[in-house]
Every structure is written in C-alpha cells, then in structure tokens.
Amino acid sequence: MHLEIITPEQKVFNGEVHIATFPGLDGSFQILNGHAPLVSLLKEGEVVYKSKEATNQLRITGGVVEVMENKVILLADGLAK
C-alpha cells in the first residue's frame, strides 16, 4: 500500500509499506494492505511503518489519517521532539 506522511512544513515520507501503526484517540491501530476505507483523528504518539527495506518510526503531535483503496494519507499537525 502507498503511504504519504505530510506536515505543514514538509512531506516526511512518500512510498510503499506493508503495515502502518497509528496513535488513535482510543488506542493505537494498524493498517494493512486491503484495509477498509477509514478516516480517524490521531493523538500525540508514535507512527510506525514497515517497508521492504526498514522499519521506521516518528512521533507526531496529532493529526488525521485517511485510508482509501490501498492509499494512506497522514496529515500530521507536526513532529514531536
């Protein structure tokens, strides 16, 4: 599936992944290939995404994630330090 991670300042990631984990308001959840359409608010926490090459993680301050037809777009408020 294709994942884009965007903040107001920059595009952080744009590529293919196998799995992505997000910090939902009611707890973390995972998105896999073929996931049903979804829009969810996110709280501050870790986003973890795995590609063939590596497992990456970053901490966001919150945001929104949209899943539709194997495309996942994360609009993050910002990156936490």
pLDDT along the chain (81 residues), means of 10: 97 97 97 96 98 95 97 97 79
CB atoms inside a 10 Å sphere around CB 49: 24
Q: Are 6 and 19 in contact (CB under 8 A)?
A: no
Q: Are 17 and 32 in contact (CB under 8 A)?
A: no
The superfamily in CATH containing domain 2-76 is: F0F1 ATP synthase delta/epsilon subunit, N-terminal (2.60.15.10)
- For residue 81, the model assigns a pLDDT of 79
- Name the pTM for this structure: 0.93
Domain ranges in the chain?
Answer: 2-76
